Structure 1
Amino acid sequence: MKLASLKQGGRDGTLIVASRDLGKAVRVSAIATTLQSALEDWGSTAPRLNRIYELLNDSHAETINGEAVFAFEPAALAAPLPRAYEFVDGSAYLPHVERVRRARGAEVPESFYTDPLMYQAVSAGFYGPRDPVLVASEDYGIDLEAEIVIVTDDVPMAVTPAQATEHIQLIGLVNDVSLRNLIPPELVKGFGFLQSKPRSALSPVFVTPDELGAAWKNAKVHLPLVTRINDVAFGAPEAGDDMQFSFADLVAHAAKTRPLSAGTIVGSGTIANQDESRGASCLAERRTLETLANGKPSTPFLKFGDSVRIEMFDRAGASIFGAIQQTMQRV
């Protein structure tokens, strides 16, 4: 099924079920008012929400369960989870890590191949899929990062990857915005990201793993993630290729010493392939390749007024999550 949140009802939005073709939707307040509340009782709410989803797809009814069916409009949406208790972002695609480090003459530590990289990201607020990205200055080096995220139910501490798979309940996309020129001075302090990692944007809908069919295998999504900048093709790397750590591995890593609350978002990190012809998922990747080839980058970071579109399609060409479509804007 496909779930979204309207920009109504306070900070956590109003939960809706969207049709498979993203053409229509219906409120489900009798089951759960917000996605967070649904996740906290997922064993009970998921079957009931899925029944609404089936009715929405299989009928032409104008009302379902006493609620009016209406046109699905991405501009009216908040993020599916407008705020989350936790957002931990990994870096599971080692081609990206290897290139960035090679460009600055650094080796990749052996531990990177066996132990996931992960940091605690901003979760107190996410942009909706059509909200502008607000930044104070272009000098910060505005960059997109096209990624996949999963959402968990309650995850016990110290789960194994096999156990973690059963706690992955929803899948979506994220534009994990980075301010590249603020990253080096923060990392040199040895205490991680803060100012360099502002709010991210989530896809119009989150979907249950069964919506992906055979493309969801071994806790990975085996489809290209398509990015366009100013309506020009930028990249379409295969998300299932070159992913060193599956989402099950990432969940288990995050839960090693703590339980994860229902509604925890776990990110894949920037999707990148060894095959450079598939393009990139962030400007830093392209700039790194330019530096390796020519000694310096030639592609600029994003400017105010630039637009970004991130979307994933099934093998038949249908949009799965809808598109993140954003413009960079001065705050």
Structure 2
Amino acid sequence: MKLASLKNGGRDGALVVVSRDLSRAARAAAAPTLQAALDDWDRCSPLLRAQAEALEQGEAGDAFDLAVGDLAAPLPRAYQFLDGSAYLAHVERVRRARGAEMPPSFLTDPLMYQAASDGFLPPVGTIPVASEDYGIDFESEVCVVTSDVPMGVGAEEAGDYVQLVCLVNDVSLRNLIPAELAKGFGFLHSKPRSALSPVMVTPDELGDAWRDGKVHLPLVTTLDGERFGAPEAGVDMQFSFFELIAHAAKTRPLAAGTIIGSGTVANQDESLGASCMAEKRMLEIIRDGKPTTPFLSFGARVRVEMFDRAGHSIFGAIEHAYEPYRR
């Protein structure tokens, strides 16, 4: 089943079930918002599935044509967004470009930070940034959304708590990152609000592309209408989502509605392109000694999307133009 949130439902949107082809929707009867559904998932999920099936069969009397511009983020506000860095090809290139070795612990201990989750941008529109000097970048990622996860859950159990899958453009301000990391206290200014895909889907919607806690499909990013990269999300992912959930829950339970990010999708095969500007620049540094590709300028348009094997969009497209922030 596919779920989304309409903008006209207040800060947390109004939950709707969405047809598989993303063309039709109906207001959810089981819960007013997606967060409310996740809080009571065992009860709500069967009801939402029944409504989704009725919509698919043309039997939902209150169905309407869906316009992506009417959608908020599926979870406009989330209790947590814990973003990992599971693709070590990306990590290794970033470190190699600045002459640093990758510690052996990175192979066994996931990188993860607490990202902004008090507000996600709608899936289409604009992304406001105060200055181009901040080094504007995108990061195309896959995410999962959990129900309530107990503290200390193991990776072998974590799959029971994955209820939804989506995409995210994790907006990054690269020129602010070095000074923040040098403080030894993590990201703040360099990681503003991110954008989620139009819909979130239950793992079964992915068919056999969802296995081993990974999504085995290419993640396609275009920049100003040109293909930027399409690395395989299920390849070179050092830590599965099950392992990332277990890592996040090591010392605390995770509330229903927690979003776990994969980090920038990247493959060892450089011919598949990249999922962020930083990686392209790192490859230029490794090859030429300096970057030649600038970070994004205002007006740049980024689109992030994933297709099934038949070529159908699964989550809809995240598509934004970057613009100057105005109060």
User: Which bin holds the TM-score, normalised by the shorter protein?
Assistant: over 0.9
| Alpha-carbon shift at residue 62 of structure 1 (Å) | 6.0
User: Residue type matched to 1:311 in 2?
Assistant: E
Deviations 1:225-256 (A, max 9, x none): 00000000000000000000000000000000
Please state how far the C-alpha of 1:286 moved relative to its aligned partner: 0.2
2:50 matched residue in structure 1: 51
Q: 1:90: how far off?
A: 0.1
Deviations 1:158-216 (A, max 9, x none): 00001111000000000000000000000001000000000000000000000000000
How far, CA to CA, are the matches of 1:56 and 1:8 in structure 2?
21
* Equivalent residue letter for 2:107: Y
Alignment of 1:83-98 (within 5 A): 83-98=77-92
2:68 is matched with: 74
Aligned amino acid, residue 36 of structure 1: Q
Distance 2:295 2:107 in 1: 29
TM-aligned CA distance change 1:92 to 1:189, over 3 Å: same
- Partner residue in 2 for 1:3: 3
How far apart are the structure 1 equivalents of 2:57 and 2:281? 47
Aligned partner of 1:273 in structure 2 is 267
Partner of 2:103: 109
> TM-score, normalising length from structure 2?
0.99
Percent of counterpart pairs with the same letter?
A: 66
Structure 1 residues 42-73: Cα deviation after superposition (integer angstroms, max 9, x where no partner) = 001000000011111122x461xxxx211111
Q: Distance in 2 between matches of 1:81 and 1:312?
A: 19
Distance 1:141 1:100 in 2: 15
Letter in 2 for 1:47: P
SS at match of 1:9: helix
- Counterpart CA distance in 1 for 2:30 and 2:100 is 53
Name the Cα RMSD after superposition: 0.6
Which amino acid is the alignment partner of residue 17 of structure 1?
V
Counterpart for residue 22 of structure 1: 22
Question: Equivalences for 1:95-244 in 2 at 5 Å?
Answer: 95-244=89-238
Q: CA separation in 1, counterparts of 2:125 and 2:206?
A: 26
Q: Distance in 2 between matches of 1:325 and 1:48?
A: 31
Runs of 4+ with deviation above 2 angstroms: none
Q: 1:131 Cα shift?
A: 2.8
Normalising to structure 1: TM-score of the pair? 0.97
Amino acid corresponding to residue 54 of structure 1 in structure 2:
E
* 1:33 match: 32
SS across alignment from 1:148: strand
The residue identity in structure 2 corresponding to 1:198 is P
**Aligned equivalents of 1:217 and 1:190: distance in 2?**
36
User: C-alpha deviations, 1:65-122, integer Å up to 9, x for none?
Assistant: xxx2111111110000000000000000000000110111100001000000000000
Extract unaligned runs of 5+ from structure 2.
none
Code of the residue aligned with 1:205 in structure 2: it is V
Amino acid at match of 2:20: R
Paired with 2:171 and 2:251, the residues of 1 have a C-alpha distance of: 28
What is the rounded CA distance, in whole Å, between the counterparts of 2:159 and 2:125 in structure 1?
32
